[in-house]
Structure 1
């Protein structure tokens, strides 16, 4: 049966991502799945200490031919549009919030690129410094990432899908931001929907979906999982731990 690996919301934690890749390398060696792709579920940036290094690591890995696929998350879109579209307000953000709000985590991302902390008190100044310091190659890498990846038995997406809407009719805002209409719907969506966005203490299998955001943004671990059909295992230093559906 085809195997696929997936990694949850990283949020600027390069060392955690490298550790997750190490766990996958061990599992590949033990289970003969060297050709299985690794899908990163989005929210690459914000809150963690090294978003700049993390984007460079992923971008260079993809460029040299690593079998990595990378989804865009809502935080990734926030970074790109903060720099490229000054008047844009993400519909997923409450009015009154912007990319520099302490709860978003954009300040740590910009500082990882060398933006002066004093510049972060003013949107225009912060954006001007970011334009100079954030490589366009990083922004283009984010902007060109897929919004969903359909592997047949599994569907990978950052936040979830709008239940009852055909996959080719899903809106980007839902794919990057949706919560309750998706999280509270117990119906079978066809493929197993593998997602992040809503932070948990531990990756969890809900039969119709698998949430692999284990709160790396808030000091938790970064989850790496391996899937075979609708079955999933969390990768640990001791090996595979099956995620039994609720």
Structure 2
């Protein structure tokens, strides 16, 4: 069994199309497989609307795609529901429209200009009129956890010591520590994004796919077989080294 996964997209439609092209090339050689997108579809990049159109259309065509919810996706829908509602996991002094978070970039892709420089009430009203209801429904109904084979796919990570079925949504889309520092096995291989690094990296107990597409880096696509993973490149598969981890995998 093999399964494909794509890291944080952040409005980079061209990179998303290229990642799917790499997957299609690999499928032509090795057979079809499910494709999991680990969330953060929107914000910072130039075409969040186009990314959602692409994903919605692919699923409607019957493609075996799973699309998870990321913290940026949740911030987007929370803003549309109530722009004054605090986002758990986000520092109190920040908001989705803060330049660091990229909400204004997302709204610009829907034709709402200068969202960070105008009264929030006006921006909110324009956003409600501009964002298709199908996009809102798609984002709000995204799962936050997907199990396949020997892997569990989430956006940010999991809280160590808490069973997968008891993880909170906020942890699944926001957590960094103590998840990133945990060196023992989580049971399944945790495949995630959220924390940008230079290149997709296998840590033995987890696999981070966020290679910084939001900041000019590549969008990583990988193929996973068991607990092994390979980065997809124009030259073919490049195996990601898999360190040993402490603790035994559960039976």
* TM-score for both structures, normalised by structure 2: 0.95
Partner of 1:154: 151
Partner of 2:246: none
> Once the 2 structures are TM-superposed, how far is the Cα of residue 119 of structure 1 from its aligned partner?
7.0
* TM-score for both structures, normalised by structure 1: 0.97
Partner of 1:28: 27
| More off after superposition, 195-204 vs 111-120 | 111-120
Correspondent of 2:82 among 70, 85, 88: 85
> Once the 2 structures are TM-superposed, how far is the Cα of residue 136 of structure 1 from its aligned partner?
1.0
Following the alignment from structure 2 to structure 1, what is the Cα–Cα distance between the partners of residues 183 and 113? 47
Instruction: Provide closer, same or farther for how the CA distance between residues 231 and 119 of structure 1 changes in structure 2, counting only shifts above 3 A.
Output: closer
Instruction: Provide closer, same or farther for how the CA distance between residues 118 and 12 of structure 1 changes in structure 2, counting only shifts above 3 A.
Output: closer
Partner of 1:94: 91
Following the alignment from structure 1 to structure 2, what is the Cα–Cα distance between the partners of residues 24 and 61? 14
Aligned-pair Cα RMSD in Å: 1.0
SS at match of 2:73: helix
> Once the 2 structures are TM-superposed, how far is the Cα of residue 140 of structure 1 from its aligned partner?
0.5
> Once the 2 structures are TM-superposed, how far is the Cα of residue 152 of structure 1 from its aligned partner?
3.7
Following the alignment from structure 1 to structure 2, what is the Cα–Cα distance between the partners of residues 20 and 152? 22
Unaligned runs of 5+ in 1: none
Q: Are the counterparts in 2 of residues 119 and 125 from structure 1 also a CA contact under 8 Å?
A: no
After superposition, give the CA deviation of every residue in 1:214-244 in whole Å (9 maximum; x if it has no partner): 0000000000000000000000000000000
> Once the 2 structures are TM-superposed, how far is the Cα of residue 144 of structure 1 from its aligned partner?
0.5
Following the alignment from structure 2 to structure 1, what is the Cα–Cα distance between the partners of residues 5 and 115? 37
> Once the 2 structures are TM-superposed, how far is the Cα of residue 120 of structure 1 from its aligned partner?
4.2
Unaligned runs of 5+ in 2: 244-251
SS at match of 1:232: strand
The answer to whether structure 1 residue 176 and structure 2 residue 135 are counterparts is: no
Following the alignment from structure 1 to structure 2, what is the Cα–Cα distance between the partners of residues 232 and 178? 23
Following the alignment from structure 1 to structure 2, what is the Cα–Cα distance between the partners of residues 118 and 18? 27
> Once the 2 structures are TM-superposed, how far is the Cα of residue 178 of structure 1 from its aligned partner?
0.3
Report the count of equivalent residues. Answer: 243
Correspondent of 1:206 among 189, 203, 207: 203
Q: Are the counterparts in 2 of residues 11 and 47 from structure 1 also a CA contact under 8 Å?
A: yes
Partner of 1:241: 238
The answer to whether structure 1 residue 228 and structure 2 residue 225 are counterparts is: yes
